[in-house]
Amino acid sequence: MTDLAAPPTSTSQASSVHPLDRLTVAETQAAVEIVRADERFGSRARFASIDLHLPEKALVLAYTAGDAIVRAADVVVLDRSDGSTHEIVAVVSDGTVAQWNRIEGVQPSITVNEFVESETAMKSDPDFQAAMAKRGITDMSLVTIDPWSAGNYGDPIESSHRIVRGLVFVRGTAGGNQYARPIDGMLVVFDLNAMKIVRIEDERVLPVPDEPAESAEWSRHLMPSDRERSDIKPLDIVQLDGPSFEVNGDRLSWQKWDMRIGWSSREGLVINTLSYTDGDQVRPVLYRASLAEMTVPYGDPSATQARKNAFDAGEYGMGMLANSLTLGCDCLGEIHYLDAHFCDAEGTVVEIPQAICIHEEDFGISWKHSDFRTDQTEVRRLRRLVVSFICTVGNYEYGVYWYFYQDGRVESEIKLTGILSTGALDTGETTNYGTKLGDHLYGPNHQHFFCMRLDMTVDGLANSVVEVDTVQAPPDENPYGNAFRGQTTVLATEQQAQRRIDPMAARYWKVISNEATNKMGTPTGYKLIAGENCLPFATEESSIRARAGYMWNHLWVTPYAADERWPAGAYPNQSVGGEGLPAWTAADRDVENTDLVVWYTMGHNHLPSLEDWPVMPVACIGFTLKPSGFFDHSPVMDLPPSSTCH
Ligand SMILES: [Cu+2]
């Protein structure tokens, strides 16, 4: 057995591999073999996920090239024979098992295999076929079933069995848009371990919406051929000398930025050890950043919609659902791709070529000034480095984009697109809880919440978070009534640091260093500037209030703890709730002048529009990390004039 917390032993390899480098295909395969060879791996056991076992932060920060390191994988195994879950640390450097913990009463995320297998099993079930026949549907090849995570609403089966709720659709034609034709009024409760239907909840027979192809279809071969615009000339992004970034393994350097690309089956893209070189100083900003959880609560009380609350990270796994990206389509310009992979339930490594896209973009002007008296003009163009991936979670696509600017800004943006998960209405029926998209077809109200985990290291590990509101000056300091000032409050403990946006106060939060100061002697820092946001509309008594408590605050701050990674707990699938951020922060630990993690939650409210159909044009939501007293002056005065300026 290898002691993972100890400095590297003689059994580990000295190599050029950095401790945070993503698992290679060979390492993932090795982890599968290590676990399979162990007698605790049952005959009906399956793999839920395999990810890099994150090395201790202190070891990573102390690492220098050539140091011997231990490479290990976190393996989650689901044993279908008794429903138990096993958390294993497999040391791929020496072929041993360092930890094997058996856990009862939790459900790992739904695997890609279960997604496919459950649909096949449901469709071949005579009771399901009878329910379809009742609706005049006999061609099972056109029927599709989306296995929705079941949640937990007090039904004992939600705690005793591994289940999903299947929502049923029927395509109008092979390859047609399934979401244009929901079979509403029924759903299928399905046991994933037994691979059989538990029951069909058949409330009522509703008409199957039947919109014409021109308003229902998105696939090019099903769209009217005369629809496409013909007035678009090619737009080529050409970098004859190549891009300005350098990729070396998982390390990415671009001008003054330096980072390491990470990946997990749950989060997809991860940004590791982000730093900015300022003169002769390499200044850390972030240790690790990712989209750690996202939840889509639906706001429609109908029997089919009321329990739709998908946790797309914790219940499905955004990294496992990542797209293979295509040059010229998903990405334009001088692109560098990184491949990814995941392990399916059977232990087969599935490669995702070109999963991570890296490129640079012109982003308009960085700064400009003209002096009309002297006829001088200086203008500089701004560039940003873009690192992104896109995943497909059932009906929706989520693009996760990280932008790094020359001026020290970091932005994260989620692009939401894909197809509404729809419902059906009876003839003449209307609803307050969705938007009618056509006869019998509607898009139910819902929200999308994204929780970003930002393990900050602004000029070192010792950081604090302050809240800055802008307030009117008190009367005795305000003879002209014009005065206002920033009012800064230190968020000293976890409870004090549970905060919400306040646009009327122009509120922002700032992560400051407790070690470094700028030329004015004040702490260096980075502002967190909120973008679009909202709160959930679910009630205090609702199931989702307990299960995704993180959504009720936009800001949380916790002291760094290696095992605190998932805002809604490690196993949100079918959880009764209470775990993750609400549980950790109940201790009200000190978060001042310490190694801290900032959790920023952003909500996109979605009362669907007609324009969201049949495929939603991209909606964007994000936030900005902006240097604030981090530099002594503008960091972009050194930008050269554009070579093509004339
Ligand atoms: Cu939406």
- Three-state SS annotation for 136-193: CCCCHHHEEEEEEECCCCCCHHHHHCCEEEEEEEECCCCCCCHHHCEEEEEEEEEECC
CA 335 / ligand 1 centre spacing (Å): 29
Compute the distance between CA of residue 197 and CA of residue 215 in angstroms, rounded to an integer. Answer: 34
Active site residue 337: no
State the pLDDT at residue 312.
96
Q: Rounded to 5 degrees, what angle do the CA atoms 94, 99, 103 make?
A: 150
State the pLDDT at residue 327.
87
Q: How confident is the model at residue 9 (pLDDT cuts 50, 70, 90)?
A: very low
pLDDT at 5 > cutoff 70: no
| Average confidence (pLDDT) over 397-426 | 98
Percent residues over pLDDT 90 in the chain: 95
* CATH dotted code for 112-222: 3.10.450.40
State the pLDDT at residue 11.
45
Helix axes 126-133, 112-123, angle to 10 degrees: 70
- In this structure, the chain runs to a length of 646
* CATH dotted code for 245-627: 2.70.98.20
The 10 Å Cβ neighbour count of residue 588 is 13
Q: Which residues touch 330 (CB under 8 Å, ≥6 apart)? A: 323, 357, 390
Structure tokens at 585: 């922060």
**Are 143 and 170 spatial neighbours (Cβ–Cβ below 8 Å)?**
yes
User: Shortest CA distance to 623 belongs to which of 529, 525, 501, 498?
Assistant: 529
pLDDT at 582 > cutoff 50: yes
pLDDT at 497 > cutoff 60: yes
Instruction: Kindly report, residue by residue over 51-107, the tens digit of the pLDDT.
Output: 999 999 999 999 999 899 999 999 999 999 999 999 999 999 999 999 999 999 999
Q: How confident is the model at residue 200 (pLDDT cuts 50, 70, 90)?
A: very high
Which one of 79, 258, 300, 312 is the catalytic residue?
A: 312
Active site residue 312: yes
| Sign of the torsion formed by the C-alpha atoms of 631, 633, 634 and 636 | negative
Residues of the chain with CATH 3.10.450.40: 13-103, 112-222
CATH class of 13-103: alpha beta
Which one of 276, 298, 316, 396 is the catalytic residue?
A: 396
| Average confidence (pLDDT) over 356-379 | 97
CA 591 / ligand 1 centre spacing (Å): 34
State the pLDDT at residue 10.
42
Separation in Å, CA 250 to CA 263, 269, 358, 404: 10, 12, 11, 17
| Average confidence (pLDDT) over 200-216 | 95
Separation in Å, CA 156 to CA 160, 231, 309, 457: 6, 59, 18, 44
CA 604 / ligand 1 centre spacing (Å): 8
State the pLDDT at residue 643.
80
Q: Which residues touch 15 (CB under 8 Å, ≥6 apart)? A: 68, 69
Q: pTM of the entire structure? A: 0.96
Q: Which residues lie at CB < 5 A from ion ligand 1? A: 606
State the pLDDT at residue 562.
97
Q: Which residues touch 6 (CB under 8 Å, ≥6 apart)? A: none
CA 443 / ligand 1 centre spacing (Å): 9
Residues of the chain with CATH 2.70.98.20: 245-627
By three-state DSSP, how is residue 53 classified? coil
